[in-house]
Protein backbone atom coordinates (compact mmCIF):
# COMPACT_ATOMS: atom_id res chain seq x y z
CA UNK A 1 0.00 0.00 0.00
CA UNK A 2 2.81 2.37 0.92
CA UNK A 3 4.53 1.54 -2.36
CA UNK A 4 1.38 2.42 -4.33
CA UNK A 5 1.12 5.66 -2.36
CA UNK A 6 4.74 6.58 -3.06
CA UNK A 7 4.34 5.71 -6.75
CA UNK A 8 1.25 7.94 -6.88
CA UNK A 9 3.13 10.94 -5.50
CA UNK A 10 6.03 10.21 -7.85
CA UNK A 11 3.54 10.50 -10.73
CA UNK A 12 2.25 13.83 -9.35
CA UNK A 13 5.78 15.16 -9.01
CA UNK A 14 6.58 14.12 -12.58
CA UNK A 15 3.80 16.33 -13.94
CA UNK A 16 4.72 19.85 -15.01
CA UNK A 17 2.34 21.97 -12.95
CA UNK A 18 1.23 25.20 -14.57
CA UNK A 19 -0.19 27.11 -11.63
CA UNK A 20 -2.83 29.84 -11.40
CA UNK A 21 -2.85 31.84 -8.21
CA UNK A 22 -6.36 32.99 -7.37
CA UNK A 23 -6.91 35.68 -4.70
CA UNK A 24 -10.13 37.34 -3.57
CA UNK A 25 -11.24 39.84 -0.94
CA UNK A 26 -14.78 41.15 -0.48
CA UNK A 27 -15.85 44.42 1.13
CA UNK A 28 -17.33 42.40 4.01
CA UNK A 29 -13.97 40.69 4.61
CA UNK A 30 -12.23 44.07 4.74
CA UNK A 31 -14.61 45.21 7.48
CA UNK A 32 -14.19 42.04 9.52
CA UNK A 33 -11.67 42.44 12.36
CA UNK A 34 -10.67 38.77 12.23
CA UNK A 35 -9.66 38.96 8.60
CA UNK A 36 -7.83 42.23 9.04
CA UNK A 37 -5.94 40.61 11.87
CA UNK A 38 -4.98 37.65 9.66
CA UNK A 39 -3.64 39.99 6.97
CA UNK A 40 -6.01 38.66 4.31
CA UNK A 41 -5.35 41.58 1.95
CA UNK A 42 -4.95 40.87 -1.75
CA UNK A 43 -1.25 41.77 -1.59
CA UNK A 44 -0.54 39.46 1.35
CA UNK A 45 -2.38 36.56 -0.30
CA UNK A 46 -0.26 37.01 -3.43
CA UNK A 47 3.04 37.16 -1.49
CA UNK A 48 2.11 34.03 0.47
CA UNK A 49 1.00 31.97 -2.57
CA UNK A 50 3.94 33.02 -4.77
CA UNK A 51 6.27 31.61 -2.10
CA UNK A 52 4.30 28.33 -2.10
CA UNK A 53 4.60 28.10 -5.89
CA UNK A 54 8.34 28.85 -5.71
CA UNK A 55 8.97 26.27 -2.96
CA UNK A 56 7.33 23.55 -5.07
CA UNK A 57 9.05 24.52 -8.32
CA UNK A 58 5.71 25.03 -10.09
CA UNK A 59 5.36 27.29 -13.12
CA UNK A 60 3.36 30.42 -12.32
CA UNK A 61 1.13 31.14 -15.33
CA UNK A 62 -0.74 34.14 -13.96
CA UNK A 63 -2.31 35.75 -10.89
CA UNK A 64 -6.08 36.25 -10.99
CA UNK A 65 -7.55 38.86 -8.65
CA UNK A 66 -11.08 39.78 -7.53
CA UNK A 67 -10.87 42.70 -5.14
CA UNK A 68 -14.22 43.75 -3.69
CA UNK A 69 -16.22 40.76 -4.93
CA UNK A 70 -18.36 38.56 -2.72
CA UNK A 71 -17.66 34.86 -2.41
CA UNK A 72 -21.36 33.92 -2.49
CA UNK A 73 -21.35 33.62 -6.28
CA UNK A 74 -18.77 32.97 -9.00
CA UNK A 75 -19.70 35.83 -11.30
CA UNK A 76 -16.33 37.54 -10.80
CA UNK A 77 -14.15 38.92 -13.61
CA UNK A 78 -10.88 37.50 -12.27
CA UNK A 79 -12.35 34.03 -11.74
CA UNK A 80 -14.01 34.06 -15.16
CA UNK A 81 -10.69 34.97 -16.83
CA UNK A 82 -8.99 32.12 -14.98
CA UNK A 83 -11.61 29.60 -16.17
CA UNK A 84 -11.17 30.83 -19.75
CA UNK A 85 -7.40 30.20 -19.51
CA UNK A 86 -8.12 26.74 -18.07
CA UNK A 87 -10.29 25.98 -21.11
CA UNK A 88 -7.39 27.09 -23.33
CA UNK A 89 -5.16 24.50 -21.65
CA UNK A 90 -2.83 27.09 -20.10
CA UNK A 91 -3.42 25.94 -16.50
CA UNK A 92 -3.66 22.59 -14.71
CA UNK A 93 -3.31 23.76 -11.09
CA UNK A 94 -5.38 26.31 -9.15
CA UNK A 95 -4.10 27.44 -5.76
CA UNK A 96 -5.77 29.64 -3.13
CA UNK A 97 -4.77 30.60 0.39
CA UNK A 98 -7.83 28.90 1.85
CA UNK A 99 -11.13 27.42 0.70
CA UNK A 100 -13.15 30.57 1.44
CA UNK A 101 -11.07 32.53 -1.11
CA UNK A 102 -12.39 30.22 -3.84
CA UNK A 103 -15.99 30.75 -2.71
CA UNK A 104 -18.43 30.85 0.19
CA UNK A 105 -21.47 29.28 -1.48
CA UNK A 106 -21.14 25.65 -0.44
CA UNK A 107 -23.19 24.34 -3.38
CA UNK A 108 -21.24 26.11 -6.14
CA UNK A 109 -17.89 25.67 -4.37
CA UNK A 110 -18.59 21.95 -4.10
CA UNK A 111 -19.60 21.91 -7.77
CA UNK A 112 -16.18 23.25 -8.78
CA UNK A 113 -14.15 21.04 -6.43
CA UNK A 114 -16.11 17.82 -6.98
CA UNK A 115 -17.15 18.11 -10.65
CA UNK A 116 -15.85 21.00 -12.76
CA UNK A 117 -12.17 20.89 -11.78
CA UNK A 118 -11.94 17.05 -11.96
CA UNK A 119 -13.74 17.05 -15.34
CA UNK A 120 -11.16 19.53 -16.67
CA UNK A 121 -8.35 17.55 -14.96
CA UNK A 122 -7.47 20.54 -12.76
CA UNK A 123 -5.69 20.06 -9.46
CA UNK A 124 -6.98 22.38 -6.72
CA UNK A 125 -5.07 23.29 -3.55
CA UNK A 126 -6.26 25.38 -0.59
CA UNK A 127 -3.04 25.81 1.39
CA UNK A 128 -4.22 26.79 4.88
CA UNK A 129 -7.05 24.24 4.82
CA UNK A 130 -4.61 21.52 3.66
CA UNK A 131 -6.88 20.61 0.76
CA UNK A 132 -5.29 18.93 -2.31
CA UNK A 133 -7.75 17.29 -4.71
CA UNK A 134 -5.02 15.12 -6.28
CA UNK A 135 -3.97 13.70 -2.90
CA UNK A 136 -6.33 10.72 -2.49
CA UNK A 137 -4.87 9.91 0.93
CA UNK A 138 -5.47 13.39 2.34
CA UNK A 139 -8.16 13.12 5.04
CA UNK A 140 -8.75 16.87 4.80
CA UNK A 141 -10.27 16.39 1.36
CA UNK A 142 -13.08 14.38 2.95
CA UNK A 143 -14.09 17.25 5.23
CA UNK A 144 -13.93 19.87 2.47
CA UNK A 145 -17.76 19.89 2.07
CA UNK A 146 -18.13 20.65 5.78
CA UNK A 147 -15.63 23.50 5.54
CA UNK A 148 -17.57 24.84 2.52
CA UNK A 149 -20.77 24.79 4.58
CA UNK A 150 -19.02 26.64 7.41
CA UNK A 151 -17.80 29.29 4.92
CA UNK A 152 -21.35 29.61 3.60
CA UNK A 153 -22.66 30.08 7.15
CA UNK A 154 -20.01 32.76 7.70
CA UNK A 155 -21.18 34.58 4.57
CA UNK A 156 -24.78 34.41 5.79
CA UNK A 157 -23.80 35.68 9.24
CA UNK A 158 -21.76 38.52 7.73
CA UNK A 159 -24.67 39.44 5.47
CA UNK A 160 -27.03 39.56 8.46
CA UNK A 161 -24.60 41.76 10.41
CA UNK A 162 -24.20 44.18 7.49
CA UNK A 163 -27.97 44.33 6.94
CA UNK A 164 -28.61 44.96 10.65
CA UNK A 165 -25.95 47.68 10.75
CA UNK A 166 -27.46 49.41 7.71
CA UNK A 167 -30.97 49.22 9.19
CA UNK A 168 -29.72 50.73 12.45
CA UNK A 169 -28.02 53.56 10.60
CA UNK A 170 -31.12 54.20 8.49
CA UNK A 171 -33.40 54.33 11.53
CA UNK A 172 -30.96 56.74 13.23
CA UNK A 173 -31.21 59.13 10.30
CA UNK A 174 -27.80 58.30 8.84
CA UNK A 175 -27.64 58.24 5.06
CA UNK A 176 -26.83 54.76 3.69
CA UNK A 177 -27.44 55.64 0.05
CA UNK A 178 -24.52 55.17 -2.33
CA UNK A 179 -25.67 58.18 -4.37
CA UNK A 180 -27.98 61.04 -3.44
CA UNK A 181 -30.72 62.60 -5.58
CA UNK A 182 -29.95 65.63 -7.75
CA UNK A 183 -29.53 68.73 -5.56
CA UNK A 184 -27.92 66.99 -2.58
CA UNK A 185 -24.51 65.57 -1.75
CA UNK A 186 -22.79 63.89 1.18
CA UNK A 187 -20.98 66.05 3.69
CA UNK A 188 -17.20 65.94 3.18
CA UNK A 189 -16.84 65.70 6.97
CA UNK A 190 -19.41 62.94 7.49
CA UNK A 191 -20.54 60.68 4.65
CA UNK A 192 -23.70 59.80 6.60
CA UNK A 193 -24.88 63.43 6.58
CA UNK A 194 -26.77 65.08 3.72
CA UNK A 195 -26.09 68.65 2.65
CA UNK A 196 -27.40 70.81 -0.20
CA UNK A 197 -25.37 70.84 -3.40
CA UNK A 198 -25.40 74.56 -4.12
CA UNK A 199 -24.17 74.01 -7.69
CA UNK A 200 -27.46 72.46 -8.86
CA UNK A 201 -30.03 73.08 -6.09
CA UNK A 202 -31.38 76.14 -7.97
CA UNK A 203 -32.24 73.82 -10.86
CA UNK A 204 -34.47 71.81 -8.52
CA UNK A 205 -36.20 75.01 -7.37
CA UNK A 206 -36.70 76.02 -11.01
CA UNK A 207 -38.39 72.70 -11.80
CA UNK A 208 -40.89 73.15 -8.94
CA UNK A 209 -41.50 76.81 -9.83
CA UNK A 210 -42.18 75.94 -13.47
CA UNK A 211 -44.64 73.21 -12.52
CA UNK A 212 -46.45 75.47 -10.04
CA UNK A 213 -46.74 78.09 -12.78
CA UNK A 214 -48.60 75.64 -15.01
CA UNK A 215 -45.87 74.07 -17.15
CA UNK A 216 -46.18 70.37 -17.93
CA UNK A 217 -43.37 67.93 -17.24
CA UNK A 218 -42.56 67.69 -20.93
CA UNK A 219 -42.51 71.47 -21.26
CA UNK A 220 -40.17 71.75 -18.26
CA UNK A 221 -37.83 69.17 -19.80
CA UNK A 222 -37.78 71.14 -23.05
CA UNK A 223 -36.96 74.39 -21.21
CA UNK A 224 -34.08 72.74 -19.29
CA UNK A 225 -32.67 71.21 -22.47
CA UNK A 226 -32.85 74.58 -24.24
CA UNK A 227 -31.00 76.18 -21.32
CA UNK A 228 -28.42 73.36 -21.58
CA UNK A 229 -28.78 72.60 -17.88
CA UNK A 230 -26.89 69.47 -16.90
CA UNK A 231 -29.07 66.39 -16.26
CA UNK A 232 -28.97 64.43 -12.96
CA UNK A 233 -27.43 61.38 -14.67
CA UNK A 234 -24.64 63.33 -16.36
CA UNK A 235 -23.96 65.37 -13.22
CA UNK A 236 -23.72 62.21 -11.12
CA UNK A 237 -21.30 60.66 -13.58
CA UNK A 238 -19.11 63.79 -13.60
CA UNK A 239 -19.03 64.36 -9.84
CA UNK A 240 -18.99 60.82 -8.38
CA UNK A 241 -17.53 57.40 -9.14
CA UNK A 242 -20.86 56.31 -10.64
CA UNK A 243 -20.52 54.20 -13.77
CA UNK A 244 -23.52 54.28 -16.09
CA UNK A 245 -24.22 50.78 -17.48
CA UNK A 246 -26.20 52.33 -20.35
CA UNK A 247 -23.61 53.41 -22.90
CA UNK A 248 -26.37 54.79 -25.13
CA UNK A 249 -27.59 57.35 -22.57
CA UNK A 250 -28.45 60.65 -24.29
CA UNK A 251 -28.23 62.80 -21.12
CA UNK A 252 -31.39 64.72 -22.04
CA UNK A 253 -34.09 65.93 -19.70
CA UNK A 254 -37.43 64.15 -20.12
CA UNK A 255 -40.81 63.93 -18.37
CA UNK A 256 -39.80 60.82 -16.41
CA UNK A 257 -36.78 62.56 -14.86
CA UNK A 258 -38.88 65.64 -14.04
CA UNK A 259 -41.59 63.50 -12.42
CA UNK A 260 -39.01 61.69 -10.27
CA UNK A 261 -37.72 65.01 -8.91
CA UNK A 262 -41.22 66.43 -8.33
CA UNK A 263 -42.23 63.32 -6.36
CA UNK A 264 -39.13 62.95 -4.16
CA UNK A 265 -39.73 63.90 -0.51
CA UNK A 266 -36.02 64.34 0.08
CA UNK A 267 -36.42 67.92 -1.17
CA UNK A 268 -38.54 68.87 1.88
CA UNK A 269 -35.92 67.47 4.25
CA UNK A 270 -37.34 63.96 4.72
CA UNK A 271 -35.00 60.98 4.40
CA UNK A 272 -36.64 57.79 3.11
CA UNK A 273 -34.51 54.64 3.00
CA UNK A 274 -34.82 50.83 3.03
CA UNK A 275 -37.27 50.90 0.11
CA UNK A 276 -35.93 47.60 -1.18
CA UNK A 277 -34.08 44.55 0.07
CA UNK A 278 -32.06 41.68 -1.39
CA UNK A 279 -33.89 38.37 -1.79
CA UNK A 280 -31.10 36.70 0.21
CA UNK A 281 -27.36 36.90 0.75
CA UNK A 282 -26.62 34.76 -2.34
CA UNK A 283 -28.84 36.61 -4.82
CA UNK A 284 -28.09 40.22 -5.79
CA UNK A 285 -31.62 40.86 -7.09
CA UNK A 286 -33.69 43.20 -4.91
CA UNK A 287 -37.42 43.39 -4.25
CA UNK A 288 -39.51 46.35 -3.13
CA UNK A 289 -40.44 46.53 0.55
CA UNK A 290 -43.97 47.37 1.78
CA UNK A 291 -44.32 51.09 2.58
CA UNK A 292 -44.69 50.31 6.31
CA UNK A 293 -41.15 48.88 6.33
CA UNK A 294 -39.55 52.07 4.95
CA UNK A 295 -37.19 53.97 7.24
CA UNK A 296 -38.65 57.49 7.18
CA UNK A 297 -36.90 60.28 9.09
CA UNK A 298 -38.76 63.63 8.83
CA UNK A 299 -36.77 66.87 8.97
CA UNK A 300 -33.52 64.95 8.60
CA UNK A 301 -31.68 67.60 6.60
CA UNK A 302 -32.06 71.10 5.18
CA UNK A 303 -34.90 71.37 2.67
CA UNK A 304 -34.59 72.77 -0.84
CA UNK A 305 -38.36 73.03 -1.36
CA UNK A 306 -40.86 74.31 1.19
CA UNK A 307 -43.39 71.66 2.23
CA UNK A 308 -46.43 73.79 1.27
CA UNK A 309 -45.10 74.11 -2.29
CA UNK A 310 -44.22 70.41 -2.38
CA UNK A 311 -47.70 69.37 -1.16
CA UNK A 312 -49.37 71.63 -3.73
CA UNK A 313 -47.27 70.05 -6.47
CA UNK A 314 -48.26 66.55 -5.29
CA UNK A 315 -51.96 67.49 -5.55
CA UNK A 316 -51.38 68.91 -9.02
CA UNK A 317 -49.49 65.77 -10.08
CA UNK A 318 -52.23 63.50 -8.74
CA UNK A 319 -54.81 65.46 -10.71
CA UNK A 320 -52.54 65.85 -13.75
CA UNK A 321 -53.38 69.54 -13.89
CA UNK A 322 -50.49 70.49 -16.17
CA UNK A 323 -50.35 67.49 -18.49
CA UNK A 324 -51.68 67.61 -22.04
CA UNK A 325 -51.93 64.97 -24.73
CA UNK A 326 -50.96 67.28 -27.58
CA UNK A 327 -48.43 70.10 -27.69
CA UNK A 328 -50.89 72.45 -29.44
CA UNK A 329 -53.74 71.76 -27.07
CA UNK A 330 -55.19 74.76 -25.26
CA UNK A 331 -54.45 75.06 -21.54
CA UNK A 332 -57.44 74.97 -19.22
CA UNK A 333 -57.38 76.53 -15.77
CA UNK A 334 -59.43 73.82 -14.03
CA UNK A 335 -58.00 70.71 -15.70
CA UNK A 336 -57.63 68.02 -13.06
CA UNK A 337 -60.31 69.46 -10.76
CA UNK A 338 -63.48 69.00 -12.81
CA UNK A 339 -65.32 65.69 -13.20
CA UNK A 340 -68.64 64.50 -14.57
CA UNK A 341 -71.13 62.91 -12.18
CA UNK A 342 -70.26 59.54 -13.80
CA UNK A 343 -66.71 59.95 -12.49
CA UNK A 344 -65.05 60.68 -15.84
CA UNK A 345 -62.89 63.74 -16.40
CA UNK A 346 -64.33 66.82 -18.02
CA UNK A 347 -62.65 67.68 -21.31
CA UNK A 348 -63.05 70.70 -23.56
CA UNK A 349 -63.51 71.42 -27.26
CA UNK A 350 -63.86 74.54 -29.35
CA UNK A 351 -67.25 75.41 -30.81
CA UNK A 352 -66.57 76.81 -34.31
CA UNK A 353 -63.19 78.02 -33.08
CA UNK A 354 -64.70 80.58 -30.74
CA UNK A 355 -66.05 79.17 -27.51
CA UNK A 356 -64.56 76.33 -25.45
CA UNK A 357 -67.29 74.00 -24.17
CA UNK A 358 -67.20 71.28 -21.49
CA UNK A 359 -68.02 67.66 -22.27
CA UNK A 360 -67.83 64.31 -20.48
CA UNK A 361 -64.92 62.33 -21.88
CA UNK A 362 -66.83 59.05 -21.49
CA UNK A 363 -69.87 60.48 -23.33
CA UNK A 364 -67.69 61.45 -26.26
CA UNK A 365 -66.11 57.98 -26.32
CA UNK A 366 -69.12 55.73 -25.62
CA UNK A 367 -72.17 57.90 -26.41
CA UNK A 368 -75.42 58.51 -24.51
CA UNK A 369 -75.71 54.87 -23.45
CA UNK A 370 -73.00 55.55 -20.88
CA UNK A 371 -73.53 59.23 -20.00
CA UNK A 372 -75.09 62.39 -21.43
CA UNK A 373 -73.95 65.58 -23.10
CA UNK A 374 -73.12 68.68 -21.08
CA UNK A 375 -74.14 72.10 -22.36
CA UNK A 376 -71.78 74.33 -20.45
CA UNK A 377 -69.26 76.89 -21.64
CA UNK A 378 -65.82 76.77 -20.04
CA UNK A 379 -66.02 80.53 -19.49
CA UNK A 380 -69.28 80.11 -17.54
CA UNK A 381 -67.72 77.30 -15.48
CA UNK A 382 -64.73 79.48 -14.50
CA UNK A 383 -66.96 82.45 -13.66
CA UNK A 384 -69.26 80.31 -11.51
CA UNK A 385 -66.39 78.70 -9.63
CA UNK A 386 -64.64 82.08 -9.15
CA UNK A 387 -67.84 83.63 -7.78
CA UNK A 388 -68.46 80.73 -5.38
CA UNK A 389 -64.84 80.65 -4.22
CA UNK A 390 -64.76 84.40 -3.57
CA UNK A 391 -68.00 84.29 -1.54
CA UNK A 392 -66.87 81.32 0.53
CA UNK A 393 -63.43 82.87 1.21
CA UNK A 394 -65.14 85.93 2.68
CA UNK A 395 -67.71 83.88 4.58
CA UNK A 396 -65.95 80.77 5.83
CA UNK A 397 -62.18 80.73 5.39
CA UNK A 398 -60.38 81.26 8.69
CA UNK A 399 -56.92 82.64 7.85
CA UNK A 400 -55.65 81.87 11.34
CA UNK A 401 -56.05 78.12 10.79
CA UNK A 402 -53.68 77.79 7.87
CA UNK A 403 -51.00 75.08 7.73
CA UNK A 404 -48.45 77.26 9.53
CA UNK A 405 -49.88 76.47 12.96
CA UNK A 406 -49.30 72.73 12.63
CA UNK A 407 -45.55 73.44 12.50
CA UNK A 408 -45.74 75.65 15.60
CA UNK A 409 -47.56 72.80 17.37
CA UNK A 410 -44.79 70.44 16.26
CA UNK A 411 -42.22 72.79 17.75
CA UNK A 412 -44.16 72.95 21.02
CA UNK A 413 -44.30 69.15 21.10
CA UNK A 414 -40.53 69.06 20.65
CA UNK A 415 -40.04 71.41 23.59
CA UNK A 416 -42.28 69.24 25.79
CA UNK A 417 -40.36 66.11 24.77
CA UNK A 418 -37.07 67.89 25.44
CA UNK A 419 -38.20 68.84 28.96
CA UNK A 420 -39.21 65.24 29.72
CA UNK A 421 -35.91 63.86 28.39
CA UNK A 422 -33.87 66.31 30.48
CA UNK A 423 -35.86 65.29 33.56
CA UNK A 424 -35.10 61.62 32.90
CA UNK A 425 -31.45 62.46 32.30
CA UNK A 426 -31.32 64.28 35.68
CA UNK A 427 -32.66 61.13 37.32
CA UNK A 428 -29.80 59.12 35.76
CA UNK A 429 -27.26 61.63 37.15
CA UNK A 430 -28.77 61.20 40.62
CA UNK A 431 -28.59 57.41 40.33
CA UNK A 432 -24.91 57.62 39.31
CA UNK A 433 -24.13 59.92 42.26
CA UNK A 434 -25.90 57.54 44.64
CA UNK A 435 -23.98 54.67 43.10
CA UNK A 436 -20.64 56.29 43.94
CA UNK A 437 -21.82 56.94 47.49
CA UNK A 438 -22.92 53.29 47.90
CA UNK A 439 -19.53 52.13 46.64
CA UNK A 440 -17.61 54.37 49.03
CA UNK A 441 -19.86 53.28 51.91
CA UNK A 442 -19.26 49.63 51.09
CA UNK A 443 -22.95 48.95 50.42
CA UNK A 444 -22.16 47.50 46.99
CA UNK A 445 -19.10 45.66 45.69
CA UNK A 446 -16.68 46.91 43.05
CA UNK A 447 -18.08 44.46 40.47
CA UNK A 448 -21.67 45.53 41.13
CA UNK A 449 -20.61 49.16 40.90
CA UNK A 450 -19.01 48.67 37.47
CA UNK A 451 -22.01 46.76 36.09
CA UNK A 452 -24.54 49.34 37.29
CA UNK A 453 -22.37 52.27 36.21
CA UNK A 454 -22.09 50.84 32.73
CA UNK A 455 -25.87 50.36 32.63
CA UNK A 456 -26.60 53.95 33.70
CA UNK A 457 -23.99 55.38 31.32
CA UNK A 458 -25.66 53.59 28.42
CA UNK A 459 -29.07 54.95 29.45
CA UNK A 460 -27.61 58.46 29.70
CA UNK A 461 -26.09 58.08 26.24
CA UNK A 462 -29.50 57.17 24.82
CA UNK A 463 -31.05 60.31 26.33
CA UNK A 464 -28.15 62.42 25.04
CA UNK A 465 -28.73 61.14 21.50
CA UNK A 466 -32.47 61.84 21.70
CA UNK A 467 -31.87 65.35 23.07
CA UNK A 468 -29.36 66.02 20.30
CA UNK A 469 -31.86 64.85 17.68
CA UNK A 470 -34.68 67.03 19.07
CA UNK A 471 -32.41 70.09 19.23
CA UNK A 472 -31.50 69.48 15.58
CA UNK A 473 -35.18 69.08 14.65
CA UNK A 474 -36.07 72.27 16.54
CA UNK A 475 -33.47 74.22 14.60
CA UNK A 476 -34.81 72.90 11.31
CA UNK A 477 -38.38 73.60 12.47
CA UNK A 478 -37.53 77.22 13.28
CA UNK A 479 -36.16 77.62 9.78
CA UNK A 480 -39.31 76.07 8.35
CA UNK A 481 -41.50 78.38 10.42
CA UNK A 482 -39.71 81.41 9.00
CA UNK A 483 -40.10 80.14 5.44
CA UNK A 484 -43.71 79.12 6.09
CA UNK A 485 -44.48 82.61 7.39
CA UNK A 486 -43.24 84.06 4.10
CA UNK A 487 -45.34 81.60 2.08
CA UNK A 488 -48.43 82.18 4.22
CA UNK A 489 -48.12 85.94 3.85
CA UNK A 490 -48.05 85.44 0.08
CA UNK A 491 -51.09 83.12 0.23
CA UNK A 492 -53.00 85.56 2.45
CA UNK A 493 -52.34 88.37 -0.04
CA UNK A 494 -53.65 86.18 -2.86
CA UNK A 495 -56.71 85.19 -0.82
CA UNK A 496 -57.53 88.77 0.13
CA UNK A 497 -57.02 89.98 -3.43
CA UNK A 498 -58.84 87.04 -5.05
CA UNK A 499 -61.39 88.08 -7.65
CA UNK A 500 -61.33 85.51 -10.43
CA UNK A 501 -59.32 82.39 -11.31
CA UNK A 502 -56.23 83.02 -13.43
CA UNK A 503 -52.83 81.42 -14.00
CA UNK A 504 -51.20 83.49 -11.26
CA UNK A 505 -53.48 82.15 -8.51
CA UNK A 506 -54.10 78.72 -10.01
CA UNK A 507 -51.97 76.92 -7.41
CA UNK A 508 -53.94 78.67 -4.61
CA UNK A 509 -57.21 77.47 -6.17
CA UNK A 510 -55.94 73.89 -6.04
CA UNK A 511 -55.12 74.33 -2.36
CA UNK A 512 -58.63 75.54 -1.59
CA UNK A 513 -60.75 73.30 -3.85
CA UNK A 514 -60.70 69.51 -3.67
CA UNK A 515 -62.85 68.76 -6.75
CA UNK A 516 -65.71 70.04 -8.90
CA UNK A 517 -68.49 67.75 -10.13
CA UNK A 518 -70.88 68.68 -12.94
CA UNK A 519 -74.30 67.03 -12.58
CA UNK A 520 -76.78 67.88 -15.37
CA UNK A 521 -75.08 71.23 -15.86
CA UNK A 522 -75.26 71.89 -12.10
CA UNK A 523 -71.85 72.75 -10.64
CA UNK A 524 -71.03 71.21 -7.27
CA UNK A 525 -67.83 72.49 -5.63
CA UNK A 526 -66.11 70.57 -2.81
CA UNK A 527 -63.71 72.69 -0.77
CA UNK A 528 -60.68 71.81 1.33
CA UNK A 529 -62.08 74.00 4.12
CA UNK A 530 -65.37 73.70 5.96
CA UNK A 531 -68.29 75.61 4.39
**pLDDT digit string, tens, across residues 5-52:** 344 445 566 788 999 999 998 865 555 544 444 446 888 889 989 999
> Are residue 98 and residue 133 in the same domain, yes or no?
yes
As for how many domains the chain has, the answer is 3
> Are residue 346 and residue 308 in the same domain, yes or no?
no
> Are residue 113 and residue 246 in the same domain, yes or no?
no
The dihedral built from the CA positions of residue 37, 42, 47 and 53, taken in this order, carries a sign that is positive
| Domain annotation covers residue 275 | no
Average pLDDT, the chain: 77
> Are residue 157 and residue 220 in the same domain, yes or no?
no
| Domain annotation covers residue 281 | no
> Are residue 339 and residue 482 in the same domain, yes or no?
yes
> Are residue 248 and residue 337 in the same domain, yes or no?
no
| Domain annotation covers residue 173 | no
Q: Please give the biggest Cα pair distance in the chain.
A: 110
Half-sphere exposure of 492 (CA within 13 A, CB side): 13
Least confident segment among 9-13, 70-74, 225-229, 439-443: 9-13
> Are residue 204 and residue 308 in the same domain, yes or no?
yes
Give the model's pLDDT for residue 279. 57
> Are residue 239 and residue 97 in the same domain, yes or no?
no
| Domain annotation covers residue 298 | no
> Are residue 336 and residue 314 in the same domain, yes or no?
no
The dihedral built from the CA positions of residue 337, 342, 347 and 351, taken in this order, carries a sign that is negative
> Are residue 102 and residue 29 in the same domain, yes or no?
yes
> Are residue 374 and residue 522 in the same domain, yes or no?
yes
**What's the domain range around 360?**
332-531
Kindly list the distances between the CA atom of residue 347 and the CA atoms of 336, 507, 514, in Å, as whole numbers in the listed order.
Answer: 10, 20, 18
Assign 188 a pLDDT band (cuts: 50, 70, 90): confident
| Domain annotation covers residue 326 | no
Nearest CA-CA partner of 181 in 307, 305, 309, 267: 267
pTM of the model: 0.47
Helix axes 255-263, 201-212, angle to 10 degrees: 100
- The answer, yes or no, to whether residue 436 has pLDDT greater than 70, is yes
Query: Can you tell me the mean pLDDT for 102-110?
Result: 81
Name the percent of the chain lying above pLDDT 90.
16
**227-231, 392-396, 493-497: which is most confident:** 227-231
Query: Can you tell me the mean pLDDT for 131-135?
Result: 83
Give the model's pLDDT for residue 91. 94
User: What is the three-class DSSP state of 47?
Assistant: helix
Please give the Cα distance from 104 to 110 (Å, whole number): 10
| Domain annotation covers residue 174 | no
> Are residue 101 and residue 150 in the same domain, yes or no?
yes
**57-66, 375-384, 407-416, 456-465: which is most confident:** 57-66
Amino acid sequence: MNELYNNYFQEINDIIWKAAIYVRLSREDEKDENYRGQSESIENQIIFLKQVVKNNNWILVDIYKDDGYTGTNFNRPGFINMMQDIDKGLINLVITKDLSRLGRDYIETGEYIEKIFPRKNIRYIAVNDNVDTFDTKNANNDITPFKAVMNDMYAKDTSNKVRTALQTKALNGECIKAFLPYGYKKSPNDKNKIIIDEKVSDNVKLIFDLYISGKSKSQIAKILNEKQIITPLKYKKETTNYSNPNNNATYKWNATVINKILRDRIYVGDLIQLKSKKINYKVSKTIKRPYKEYAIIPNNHKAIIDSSIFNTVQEMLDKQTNEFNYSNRKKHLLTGLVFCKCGSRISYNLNHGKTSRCFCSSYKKYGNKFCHNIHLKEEDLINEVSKSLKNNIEKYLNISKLDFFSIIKSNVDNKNNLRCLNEEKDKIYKLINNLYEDKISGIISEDTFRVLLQKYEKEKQVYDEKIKQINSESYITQQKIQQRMINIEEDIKKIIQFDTINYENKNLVFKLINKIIIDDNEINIYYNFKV
